[in-house]
């Protein structure tokens, strides 16, 4: 059982308790999950049960008792095909398909990359806890492409340190709306939880972290769409999707940050992790992996080229 306490300041008065807690980065809990905990009496204010719409007052003491995640053994190995590009005793490099969830979460414990990894590997690192064994970094469900997986804690710590020090190079390809005019530029804008919709991220100065994305235009399609290469200097949640939407060029097919009415029938955003460069944690050898875009993205590009 994890326990947390928060003391409400004057600036935080009149905020709904579920909104307030969803903004606390150390909790990493969705608003719906928090509402369930409130209903179950796992979250109290001044030792009393409240409702999710309770408006906070200065001096309120919020106490959370969060039940533990499902045990590691409860996450079942599943025989799900994996596209493994590289594997040794320390790590794997995987080409994740669009539509695959990376790790189990509340209410979603099967069909994930972790379920597939548990079937394939006898051991995975435990650094990220029982719910995310081996996961050094993640991709969104509908983002395809290259991912690193650690088989032991030593490799995990070493790879995580490389990411923290910006030594891992990660390049993505994306089709975005509109004509991106500049050939090359950097988006330097902090990202945090959206102030209203807690399931989304946004460019904001409140409770945010620095975020930098380098963008290079590869092709333009009649002024209506652009193919870009985006290089991550930081690794914030939904970073490329949020940054591109913030400058008026959301990723095509993005149901969260793009327009409600999409011009093509797509299963998700046209975003692909195309290149991954890192130093092997044991040998020190620089490893480079490149993965071609998936057929659905290739097909859309061919269609857009015909419109020019």
Residue 283 CA to residue 77 CA, distance in Å, equals 30
The catalytic residue among 90, 140, 142, 254 is: 140
CA nearest neighbour of 136 among 124, 123, 144, 122? 124
Determine the 3-state secondary structure of 84 from DSSP. strand
Phi/psi at 176 (5° precision):
-120, 160
Strand pairing of 144-150 and 271-279? Answer: parallel
Contact yes or no for 205/189 (Cβ under 8 A) = no
d(C-alpha 17, C-alpha 33), whole Å: 13
Please give the Cα distance from 43 to 18 (Å, whole number): 10
23 in Cβ contact with 31 (< 8 Å):
no
Contact call for residues 95 and 273 (beta carbons, < 8 A): no
140 belongs to the catalytic site: yes
Point out the residues that are catalytic: 140
């Amino acid at each position: 059982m994890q326990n947390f306490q928060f003391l409400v300041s004057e600036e935080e008065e009149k905020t709904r308790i579920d909104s307030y807690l969803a903004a606390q980065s150390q909790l990493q809990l969705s608003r719906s999950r928090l509402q369930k905990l409130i209903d179950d009496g796992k979250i109290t204010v001044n030792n009393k049960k409240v409702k999710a719409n309770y408006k906070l007052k200065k001096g309120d003491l919020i106490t959370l008792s969060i039940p533990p995640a499902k045990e590691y053994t409860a996450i079942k190995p599943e025989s799900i095909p994996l596209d493994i590009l590289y594997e040794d005793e320390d790590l794997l490099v995987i080409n994740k398909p669009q539509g695959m969830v990376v790790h189990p979460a509340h209410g979603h414990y099967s069909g994930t990359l972790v379920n597939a990894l548990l079937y394939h590997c006898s051991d995975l690192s435990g650094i990220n806890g029982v719910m995310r064994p081996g996961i050094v970094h993640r991709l969104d469900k509908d983002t395809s492409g290259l991912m690193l997986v650690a088989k032991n804690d030593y490799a995990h710590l070493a790879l995580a340190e490389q990411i923290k020090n910006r030594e891992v190079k990660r390049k993505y390809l994306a089709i975005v709306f509109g004509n991106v005019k500049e050939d090359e530029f950097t988006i330097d804008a902090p990202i945090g939880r959206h102030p209203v919709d807690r399931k989304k991220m946004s460019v904001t100065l409140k409770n945010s972290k620095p975020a930098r994305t380098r963008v290079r235009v590869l092709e333009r399609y009649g002024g209506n769409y652009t193919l870009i290469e985006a290089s991550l200097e930081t690794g914030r949640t939904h970073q490329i999707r949020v940054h591109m939407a913030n400058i008026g060029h959301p990723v095509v097919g993005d149901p969260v940050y793009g327009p409600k009415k999409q011009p093509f029938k797509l299963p998700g955003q046209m975003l692909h992790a195309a290149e991954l460069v890192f130093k092997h944690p044991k040998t020190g050898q620089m490893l480079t992996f490149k993965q071609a875009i998936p057929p659905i993205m290739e097909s859309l590009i061919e269609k857009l080229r015909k419109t020019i």
